[in-house]
Amino acid sequence: MTAPRLYYRDEACTIYHGDYLDVLPALDVADHVITDPPYDLKTHKGARYGFRETSSEIHFAPADVAVIVPRLLAAARRWVVAFCALEMFGEYRDHAGASWVRAGFWRRTNGVPQFTGDRPGQPGEGLAIMHAAGVKKRWAGHGEHAFFEYPIVCNGPHPTTKPEPLMQELVTLFTEAGETVLDPFMGSGTTLVAAKRLGRKAIGVEVEERYCEVAARRLAQGALPLGWTA
């Protein structure tokens, strides 16, 4: 096991540079996990994010859901929310077992059509929603649908940067003030920025140092309220 490298820390957020498989065993259990793991090889091959070709920009190991899911669940006391390709819902459900709760959906309001024209375009991305088994669920959404509509971030600091308002909504719905949110696939740190804005603590893990630097700069600039409310 490679010892995690502490890359950044402030009063609310901590970033570790390293592979999540090496870092998570050395961390305390967080209250929640909200994250965007790699998708399967078929999804990433030739992938576009909006009109941006991303398949050549991301160096990733294709998702092994059988490995990812148990580690995410072991890292959280309560909610685990993971973005995934729609075709991967079955894998997440099967490997989550009794911890599986629901499939959610992010509709990308500015998503591109299917350029070949011979099949429907992909309307968005999934959210695999899981929860620690045997623990009472609490959710601020009051039973509303797990359906979210936000545009793709174009020309963001990471090839698959998630929109900050979307991450703020997820943090608001699934966590409570003062709790700790863990993102083991941090990217450019949008989950941490959203958590900090909303009075949560956050821990990020990222295998590529260049994105640790991007996230650290974003957090060091300060996370002032944007006026968004749930």
Residue 35 lies in a domain: yes
Residue 51's pLDDT band, with cuts at 50, 70 and 90, is: very low
Q: What is the pLDDT of residue 65?
A: 95
Among 20, 33, 139, smallest CA distance to 77 is for 33
Q: Which segment of 42-56, 88-102, 123-137 scores lowest on mean pLDDT?
A: 42-56
Residue 18 lies in a domain: yes
Residue 225 lies in a domain: no
Mean pLDDT for 168-192 is 97
**pLDDT at residue 113 above 70?**
yes
Q: What is the pLDDT of residue 224?
A: 45
Q: What is the token pair recorded at 229?
A: 């409310």
Residue 64 lies in a domain: yes
- Into how many domains does the chain fold? 1
* CATH number reported for the structural domain that contains residue 130 in this entry: 3.40.50.150
Residue 227 lies in a domain: no
CA dihedral 202, 128, 150, 198 (to 10 degrees): -20
Residue 122 lies in a domain: yes
With beta carbons less than 8 A apart as the criterion, state whether 190 and 150 touch.
no
- Could you write out the DSSP letters of every residue in 13-75? EEEEES-HHHHGGGSPPBSEEEE-----HHHHTT-EETTEE-TTT---PPP-HHHHHHHHHHT
Report the distance separating Cα 51 and Cα 137, nearest Å: 38
Mean pLDDT for 59-70 is 80
Give the predicted TM-score (pTM) of the model: 0.88
Q: Which domain holds residue 160?
A: 5-220
Q: What is the DSSP letter of 197?
A: H
Residue 68 lies in a domain: yes
* 144 contacts: CB under 8 Å, gap ≥ 6: none
Amino acid at 50: G
Q: What is the pLDDT of residue 162?
A: 94
Residue 23 lies in a domain: yes
Q: Which segment of 57-71, 170-184, 194-208 scores lowest on mean pLDDT?
A: 57-71
